[in-house]
Amino acid sequence: MTRRHSLPGRIPGAFPRLLSLLLLTLAGTALAQGQAAPGNAPAPAAGGRNALEKQDIRAQLSPRRYTTLGAELGAKVNRISVKEGEHFKAGQVLVSLDCSLQSAQLQRAKAALSAADKTWVANKRLAELNSVGKVELETSEAEVMKAKADISLMGATLAKCQLTAPFSGRVAEQKVREQQFVQPGQPLLDILDDSALELEFIIPSRWLAWLKSGTAFKVRIDETAREYPAKITRIGARVDPVSQSVKAAAVIDGTFPELIAGMSGKVLLVPPAGTP
């Protein structure tokens, strides 16, 4: 008669029950996760508006034209006729350099031209009498041309001794002082044209459907706590595909003496009613 021996510690029928319990537990966990997943999904943005449309659009006033005047030769600064913040007119002398050495060189070049011209005239008369060689005649003529070139050179150099304003505007920063020696290329004055102040800012690219050049709006400047009229002058040529934005530029429509470059404020530009 054959006997069946059970392994020590083994409980008959326990394994199938454990397996069933494990499967039920896994099924319940999966069901609970499936019900919670929809609640964790991010809600779509209302109205399809991007982040730029939900925040204030800021702009800064900047001059239409600005530049830095620099020395074109090494010399001492004799006089600066305008100070920081002062106005000037186009063509006005802003900085005068000490060019006494260049003036003396110009006078020497003129004297050399006078002597060379007399020699050439005398040689031409002698050439008519066959009393001078062709080479000597041509050399005297070349000396005249050389003296004229020296005069032109010194005249161009002296023209750089006075720095004139390329446009009307104001001095933003004075970088040197009178009686200071400057080197060629050294900055002397920062100047700007504040006759028309521009605004630069970023707008949502979807506004291109209605925003055009000439569109009027207002901007509220922080420093004055006032609103000013403005109008769009140009729109950027490329849209940023990541932020879905584009650059825009505008100009203050009118003259307001209290406004200066560097001020900033909020662009009060609202899409028309019914715009998606």
CATH number at residue 236: 2.40.30.170
Assigned domain for 124 exists = yes
- pLDDT per residue as tens digits for the range 20-67: 544 545 545 554 454 444 444 444 444 455 555 567 899 999 998 999
- pLDDT per residue as tens digits for the range 187-229: 999 999 988 899 999 999 999 999 999 999 999 999 999 999 9
**Domain co-membership, 258 together with 229:** yes
**Domain co-membership, 144 together with 178:** no
**Domain co-membership, 133 together with 78:** no
Average model confidence (pLDDT) across the chain: 83
**Domain co-membership, 201 together with 262:** yes
**Domain co-membership, 70 together with 185:** yes
Statement: residue 242 has pLDDT above 70: yes
Assigned domain for 3 exists = no
Domain boundary among the residues 159, 175, 201 is at: 159
**Domain co-membership, 154 together with 167:** no
**Domain co-membership, 145 together with 232:** no
d(CA 61, CA 141): 60
Q: Which has the minimum average pLDDT: 8-12, 209-213, 235-239? A: 8-12
Query: Average pLDDT of 72-88?
Result: 93
Query: Average pLDDT of 241-251?
Result: 92
Contact 198, 61 (CB under 8 A): yes
In this prediction, residue 51 carries a pLDDT of: 56
Strand partners, 88: 169
Assigned domain for 169 exists = yes
**Domain co-membership, 208 together with 255:** yes
Assigned domain for 27 exists = no
**Domain co-membership, 262 together with 199:** yes
Q: Residue 185's domain spans which residues?
A: 66-96+162-189
113: confidence class by pLDDT, cuts 50, 70, 90? very high
Domain boundary among the residues 140, 159, 178 is at: 159
In this prediction, residue 102 carries a pLDDT of: 87
CATH number at residue 92: 2.40.50.100
In this prediction, residue 87 carries a pLDDT of: 94
Question: Minimal CA–CA distance to 163: which of 151, 152, 175, 153?
Answer: 175
In this prediction, residue 72 carries a pLDDT of: 92
**Domain co-membership, 111 together with 204:** no
In this prediction, residue 55 carries a pLDDT of: 72
For 160: left if phi > 0, alpha if psi spans -120 to 50, otherwise beta; the answer is: alpha
**Domain co-membership, 61 together with 197:** yes
**Domain co-membership, 78 together with 167:** yes
Q: Which has the minimum average pLDDT: 79-93, 119-133, 197-211? A: 119-133
CB neighbour list of residue 182: distance below 8 Å, 6 or more residues apart: 71, 74, 75, 76, 77, 97, 176, 188
Helix (H) or strand (E) holding 61: strand 58-70
Amino acid occupying residue 186 = Q
Residues making up the chain, counted from first to last: 276
